[in-house]
Structure 1
Amino acid sequence: MPNPSEVKPPNSLTKPSTMNALIVTDIGKPVTLTKSRDIPTPGPSQVQIQVTVAGVNPHDQKCRDGGFLIADKLPAVLAMDVVGRVTTVADGVTKYSVGDRVVAQSSLEAGNPQNGLQQYAVVDVDLSARIPDSVSDDGAATLPSNIIAPLVALFSADTLGFPAPWTSAAAGFDFAGQTLLVIGGGTSCGKLGVQLAKLAGIGRIVVVGGDKALLASYGATHVVSRHGGEEKVLASIRDVVGDDLIYAYDAYNVAPNQHLALNALSNTKRGVLARLLTTGDPDADKIHSKAQGYEVRNVYGSSHMYRELAEAFWTRLPEYLADGRIKPLTSFEVFEPGLDADKVNYVLDRYRDGETVVKPHFHISVV
């Protein structure tokens, strides 16, 4: 009889051939339940998971109602923030074993085999992370889209261009001498952007909006109230940064309202704004004259679009979570087990109607 320590765990658990899923079949129509969707099989460098939590975001409403990302990929499954337990490991994969808890951001692949509103999904090994015991499934589900967006905003050459803190370029970069302005400190992407700035060692992290004590615990050095009118807010920012600000990140405003960050940028140095909401142009009539000009750069928070940067981050995420350098968010609303089309459509309708939505987490399976 073999020694138990020498017995390898199975690389697959027995499961049915089809599953339940919520799908978009027609753009502009509610999501519906299907009970006969094929279970996706992991390809090279992938694992299959039984989904425990699917996080739904505002862009999911744009997908359902406007065809964003899915117009030519119907029927489509929504939810790019995915947490689950590994059920099948592809040949050659050593990073995970069956039963491991995993968090991932899904791809934009046709058929959406990686998205969350289905009982099983596949995960790219290099763009996912094992969840430490200290972090809950819901905590992990607050991260994927909300942290990859500021990761790209801060550390991609396409946006603000700070060297990623694990790179050789970071060793000689004066992070302590830099200032970052974060607009939208109360948003999920704002809070996690502050944490990433702290992780990099940026010396002054000036945040507009959000809970002062919480943001300070994440690493903000200055928190400015967003109330009192634009001129007062701008003056408060300028009291901290003077005319030296060259890096700004807007995690909240639509294009017509992005002038606050632009007006805070230096007049004598060329500044850069990285913005999450990319449709349209800032209102030129509200932007102060800038002798050296400025740049507006769009942020596309996709692990698969920025694979090299994202792979390096996902590899390090378990360590960052375990030692507290990255803290999961604590604001989310749980929708209990099952794939309930009415509840998902209710949330998407609230996004559509501009109502306040606490990040929705749909518990798909209990494992």
Structure 2
Amino acid sequence: MTKAKGIAFDEFGPAGVLHPLDIDVPEPGPGQVRIAVRAAGVNPLDHKIRAGYMNAVFPVELPHVPGIEAAGVVESVGEGVTGLAAGDEVFGPTVTGAYAGLALAEAAKLAAKPASLGFPEAAALPVAAETAYRALHELHVRPGETLIVHGAAGGVGILAVQFAVARGLRVVGTAGEANHEHLRRLGAIPVTYGDGLVDRAREAVPEGVDVAFDTTGLAESLAASVELTGAKDRVLTIGSPLTAGEYGVAFSSGAGPDGYFGAPAFAEALALHAAGTLDVAIHRAYPLAEAVDAQRASEAGHLRGKIVLLP
């Protein structure tokens, strides 16, 4: 075991239950590496687990260190690991909590971080890129189609917009007006969410909408998506399985039959980065010690991009 500084909670509750904790990070097992975390992504799942909302389906032992994605430097490698060595810069999902100075990860699920990509930006990619890629895969999008993305300025939405534009789709993105210019720069047609969304979308793309990806889980977004596409099987949400069921549309959680799409998702994001077009929006980077504030901001929502923590 190696000691590391981390953030944990001993009981379920509001963000204030988070506190600093010296944690033990084990030696990497077969197929694993231990990384020195340079940045960790903050996701809605983190605060849902902390609040106890996920305990029936995602039980955790207390004290629990949150965080499921990170970017950092390989510190040590486990048995059977090839292609990675101490000193390599990587990013991807973690096995142990990423709100810490050290974390374990499965070597096969990590990607090499280019020197030209910052650690905060790399830490913001794993969950968002895999989710965006998976959603487009499950929706069977095709070049020339028109896709509407609800919550297009969030961490997942921004990458979904970029992946779709790069694949030759026309993209409509719902967001607050403060984010409209940013979406235009990404190649999307922005529309404001809320009452009148269907009319605004039809005015923006008179040819119609073929497919819809929702990141919000809001009933109004799913209702609008079904009305716009006219086909429930071309609508997918990652926001709420309950709301998805109410509207008869697909819900994607990453536990589907096609498995984990990290490798192709990271490759697609890195190809955009190599071309100089990848936009990884960082809403704010907080010091690890300010994890309470970071999770409160995440819970409040309406973010442009991702929140990251810097150990």
Q: Report TM bin, short chain.
A: 0.7 to 0.9
1:262 is matched with which residue: 198, 204, 226? Answer: 226
Match of 2:70 in 1: 82
Match of 1:33 in 2: 20
In the TM superposition, what is the alpha-carbon distance from 1:254 to its structure 2 partner? 2.3
1:15-164 pair list within 5 angstroms: 17-28=2-13, 30-35=17-22, 37-68=23-54, 70-107=58-95, 113=96, 115-156=97-138, 160-162=139-141
Letter in 2 for 1:346: D
Q: TM-score, normalised by structure 2?
A: 0.84
8 A Cα contact 1:48 1:87, kept in partner:
yes
Match of 2:250 in 1: 297
8 A Cα contact 1:182 1:248, kept in partner:
yes
Give the direction of change, closer, same or farther, for the CA distance of 1:252–1:72 in structure 2 (3 Å limit). closer
8 A Cα contact 1:259 1:282, kept in partner:
no
2:185 is matched with which residue: 217, 220, 238? Answer: 217
8 A Cα contact 1:176 1:201, kept in partner:
yes
In the TM superposition, what is the alpha-carbon distance from 1:82 to its structure 2 partner? 0.7
1:8-62 per-residue CA deviation (whole Å, 9 max, x = no partner) reads xxxxxxxx73222222222226023322x22232223322101111122222111
Which is worse superposed, 40-49 or 248-257? Answer: 248-257
Structure 1's unaligned 5+ residue stretches are 1-15, 108-112, 163-174, 285-293
Q: Distance in 1 between matches of 2:124 and 2:61?
A: 26
Give the direction of change, closer, same or farther, for the CA distance of 1:247–1:322 in structure 2 (3 Å limit). same
Q: Distance in 2 between matches of 1:79 and 1:206?
A: 31
Q: Distance in 1 between matches of 2:307 and 2:149?
A: 24
SS at match of 2:7: strand
Give the direction of change, closer, same or farther, for the CA distance of 1:64–1:320 in structure 2 (3 Å limit). same
In the TM superposition, what is the alpha-carbon distance from 1:251 to its structure 2 partner? 1.7
Structure 2's unaligned 5+ residue stretches are none
The structure richer in helix per residue is 2
SS at match of 1:148: helix
1:224-263 pair list within 5 angstroms: 224-226=191-193, 230-231=195-196, 233-242=197-206, 244-255=208-219, 257-263=221-227
In the TM superposition, what is the alpha-carbon distance from 1:136 to its structure 2 partner? 0.7
Match of 1:346 in 2: 293
Give the direction of change, closer, same or farther, for the CA distance of 1:355–1:104 in structure 2 (3 Å limit). closer
Question: Number of aligned pairs?
Answer: 304
Give the direction of change, closer, same or farther, for the CA distance of 1:123–1:148 in structure 2 (3 Å limit). same
Give the direction of change, closer, same or farther, for the CA distance of 1:206–1:349 in structure 2 (3 Å limit). closer
Q: TM-score, normalised by structure 1?
A: 0.73
